[in-house]
Amino acid sequence: MDDRWHALKPDEGQSTPLYLQLAQKLATAINAGWWRADEALPSERTVSEELGISRVTARKAFDVLIEQGLVRRRHGSGTFITPRTEQPMSRLTGFTELLRQRGFEPSSVWLERTIAVPTHEEVIKLGLSPSAQVVRLKRQRLADGVVMAIEQSTLPASYLPDPNAIGSSLYAHLDQLGHSVVRALQHIRAVNASEEIAALSGIRAGEALLLITRLGYTADNVLIELTDTWCRNDYYDFVAELKRWV
């Protein structure tokens, strides 16, 4: 550990809060495998003393990791790495990031990338003027060369003027344009694969698929992303961690 503390030290010049910087660095360290599953992180006191910050601040960084599901606290005992198999994905990540974390090599094949006239439903949901246009994106999503999902997104053209400029990650592109999606509501249903989806994803028509409908919001609470993702159930397993409020 000893030589690693400096990698966790906050950057003075930064404007981002200390606890977020620390949370970020700790998350990176965890994903890099500094600790094994079920191993304990250094204690809150140790971290705060070693980095020269207050315990409250160190603890707040730990809080972030806990909400992300990366670690769990055990009273009187320590803060422990959550085994990867138990990590819920209640964390908003694009497909690309998600798979990288799990050790796959993600890729995409574009099926459609056009500017079009929105449907009536899209006009209402996205709050568009009737004359506005939308960008329509359709992709095969691959992991290590195998099709895992078919994804179709619709965004207002005003937020994404040039659909051909998108690289492999829609979210990274939106970040660059200053229209990051920071919050999303996902509706998850089960559907039978249509002929079209089946052909695109390499399964038989009628097989059960997870259909995830995502509504993505910017920091200003504006809905800018409507995405349907048809996920092969043999590769995709959605995990949610729930807490109870008594």
Partner DNA sequence: AAGTGGTCTAGACCACTTT
Partner DNA sequence: AAGTGGTCTAGACCACTTA
Residues that bind DNA (CB under 7 A): 15, 17-20, 40-41, 43-46, 52-57, 59-60, 73-79
Q: Provide, rounded to whole angstroms, the least separation between the CB of residue 176 and DNA.
A: 20
Query: Which of DNA, a second copy, none binds 227 (CB below 5-8 Å, type-dependent)?
Result: none
Query: Which of a second copy, DNA, none binds 209 (CB below 5-8 Å, type-dependent)?
Result: a second copy
Identify which of residues 73 and 113 has a Cβ nearer to DNA in the complex: 73
Query: Which of DNA, a second copy, none binds 68 (CB below 5-8 Å, type-dependent)?
Result: a second copy
Q: By CB under 8 A, name the binding residues for a second copy.
A: 23, 27, 64, 68, 74, 86, 88, 90-93, 180-192, 206-211, 221, 231, 233, 236-246
Q: Coil, strand or helix: which one is 41?
A: coil
Q: Match 């249903």 to its residue by tokens.
A: 189
Identify which of residues 162 and 195 has a Cβ nearer to a second copy in the complex: 195
Is residue 173 within 8 Å of 165, Cβ to Cβ? yes
Is residue 204 within 8 Å of 128, Cβ to Cβ? no
Is residue 180 within 8 Å of 171, Cβ to Cβ? yes
Q: Provide, rounded to whole angstroms, the least separation between the CB of residue 170 and DNA.
A: 26
Identify which of residues 135 and 203 has a Cβ nearer to a second copy in the complex: 203
Three-class DSSP labels, 150-203 = EEEEEEECCCCCCHHHCCCCHHHHHHHCCCCEEEEEEEEEEEECCHHHHHHHCC
Q: Provide, rounded to whole angstroms, the least separation between the CB of residue 195 and a second copy.
A: 15
Is residue 98 within 8 Å of 88, Cβ to Cβ? no
Query: Which of DNA, a second copy, none binds 144 (CB below 5-8 Å, type-dependent)?
Result: none
Going by C-alpha positions, the residue among 221, 196, 217 that lies closest to residue 206 is 196
Identify the DSSP state of 90. Answer: -
Q: Provide, rounded to whole angstroms, the least separation between the CB of residue 71 and a second copy.
A: 14
Q: Coil, strand or helix: which one is 89?
A: coil
Identify which of residues 4 and 187 has a Cβ nearer to a second copy in the complex: 187
